[in-house]
């Protein structure tokens, strides 16, 4: 029967060339000591000279696992300057590679076509597990990421309530620390820039700020709040609002570095001095915050490490077959000091 030409050299080809069966060739390559030295050598020679390279797809089909994982990246349009997710991807990829897995990547864009494409990969047995980043586990028509039965790990969001093991940063604790730090310097009036209420991180971080205030002062009455959004422009809006306040809070805590960049650009342009007039601190650890004027203090998440952990966890689940307990792994974020914090003006 007609079959697509491949001009590739297969086990069969080298077997024929050596005058031996396919199985011996396969074994000569996989278990060198389970085959006679003479034949093995001949086989290796011919394989090399013919330019044989095993077809991994065929092997994986036979073995019944694709040895590949899927990384579902968040919608790129949400964020203009953040490099967080790239770091996460690098971490995932490196770890996967070390464990013998390849990485497929899908960048979400909010369209159904893309979600569908992602599901095609998992339903089509192209990958044996998925890491979802900052996106709710999707479903399109009758297909659903959670129902397919393949392992899933959530990175950056706590989805343990859905039975999904999750790797996250210590949002809450870091924000409590931020409050403590500012309070120690003498600040009493706080301004928190949140993300959208739909954002897990925003909720966590706001909760952290409030807990910090309550722990320290017994109340969070001195907290004013502005609801911003993911990307940098919403920080601009937050700043415009902030400038209308009177009296103005002296300490600004922002839920995300990207938003903070927008905020800072406006308050600087308005003539405020940082940190003399205003102390700033935020969360994420974007490298660019070291190079603003002044550098801004932020909690670094080390997303590479988180990504690697997520990959380890996922592949562990894959290798042991079936989903494990939905545990939560939390990494502490580490304060990277800038020069954006000082005592409030007297």
- The partner in contact with residue 65, picked from DNA, a copy of itself, none with C-beta cut-offs of 5 to 8 angstroms by kind, is a copy of itself
Please, where are the H alpha helices in the chain? 11-18, 22-30, 37-50, 56-63, 84-98, 112-123, 171-185, 200-217, 232-244, 257-269, 303-320
Binding of DNA by 162 (CB under 7 A)? no
Binding of DNA by 3 (CB under 7 A)? yes
- The partner in contact with residue 262, picked from a copy of itself, DNA, none with C-beta cut-offs of 5 to 8 angstroms by kind, is a copy of itself
Interacting stretch for DNA, rule CB under 7 A, among 38-46, 140-148, 286-294, 317-325?
38-46
Residue 75 burial by Cβ neighbours in a 10 Å radius (0-12, 13-18, 19+): middle
Q: What are phi and psi of 87, to 5 degrees?
A: -60, -40
CA dihedral 8, 10, 12, 18 (to 10 degrees): 100
Binding of a copy of itself by 83 (CB under 8 A)? yes
Binding of DNA by 8 (CB under 7 A)? yes
**Measured distance CA(102)–CA(128) in Å, rounded:** 10
Cβ 126 to DNA shortest distance, Å? 12
- Residue from 24, 79, 156, 292 in contact with DNA (CB under 7 A): 24
**Measured distance CA(336)–CA(86) in Å, rounded:** 20
Binding of DNA by 221 (CB under 7 A)? no
Bond preceding residue 247 cis, omega within 30 of 0? yes
- The partner in contact with residue 232, picked from a copy of itself, DNA, none with C-beta cut-offs of 5 to 8 angstroms by kind, is a copy of itself
Cβ 38 to DNA shortest distance, Å? 6
Binding of a copy of itself by 293 (CB under 8 A)? yes
- Residue from 74, 93, 323, 338 in contact with a copy of itself (CB under 8 A): 93
**Cα R_g (the chain), whole angstroms:** 27
- The partner in contact with residue 24, picked from a copy of itself, DNA, none with C-beta cut-offs of 5 to 8 angstroms by kind, is DNA
Other CB atoms closer than 10 Å to residue 321's CB: what's the count? 9
CA dihedral 80, 85, 87, 88 (to 10 degrees): 180
Give contact residues for a copy of itself (rule: CB under 8 A). 3-6, 8, 48, 53-58, 60-61, 63-66, 68, 71, 76, 80-83, 85-87, 89-90, 93-94, 97-98, 102-107, 109, 113-114, 117, 120-121, 123-126, 142-143, 232, 261-262, 264-265, 268-269, 286-288, 291-293, 295
């Amino acid at each position: 029967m007609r079959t697509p030409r491949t001009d590739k050299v297969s086990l069969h080809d080298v077997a024929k060339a050596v005058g031996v069966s396919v199985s011996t060739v396969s074994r000569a390559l996989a278990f060198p000591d389970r085959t006679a030295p003479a034949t093995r050598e001949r086989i290796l020679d011919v394989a090399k000279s013919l330019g044989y390279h095993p077809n991994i797809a065929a092997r994986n089909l036979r073995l019944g696992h694709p040895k590949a994982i899927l990384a579902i990246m968040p919608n790129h349009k949400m964020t203009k300057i953040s490099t967080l997710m790239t770091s996460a991807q690098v971490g995932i990829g490196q770890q996967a590679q070390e464990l013998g897995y390849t990485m497929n990547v899908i960048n979400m864009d909010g369209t159904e076509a893309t979600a569908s494409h992602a599901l095609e990969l998992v339903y089509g047995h192209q990958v044996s597990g998925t890491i979802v980043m900052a996106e709710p586990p999707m479903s399109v028509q009758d297909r659903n990421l959670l129902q397919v039965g393949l392992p899933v790990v959530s990175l950056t969001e706590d989805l343990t309530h859905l039975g999904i093991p999750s790797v996250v940063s210590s949002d809450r604790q870091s924000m409590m620390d931020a409050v403590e730090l500012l309070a120690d310097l003498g600040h009493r009036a706080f301004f928190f820039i949140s993300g959208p209420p739909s954002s897990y991180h925003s909720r966590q971080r706001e909760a952290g700020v409030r807990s910090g205030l309550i722990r320290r002062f017994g109340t969070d009455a001195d907290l004013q709040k502005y609801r911003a959004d993911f990307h940098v422009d919403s920080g601009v809006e937050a700043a415009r609002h902030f400038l209308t306040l009177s009296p103005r809070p002296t300490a600004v805590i922002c839920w995300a570095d990207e938003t903070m960049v927008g905020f800072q650009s406006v308050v600087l342009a308005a003539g405020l001095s940082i940190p003399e007039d205003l102390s700033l601190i935020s969360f994420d650890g974007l490298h660019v915050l070291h190079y603003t004027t002044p550098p801004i203090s932020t909690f670094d998440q080390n997303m590479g490490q988180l990504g690697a952990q997520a990959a380890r966890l996922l592949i562990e689940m894959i290798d042991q077959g079936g989903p494990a307990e939905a545990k939560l792994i939390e990494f502490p974020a580490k304060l990277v000091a800038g020069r954006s914090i000082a005592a409030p003006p007297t």
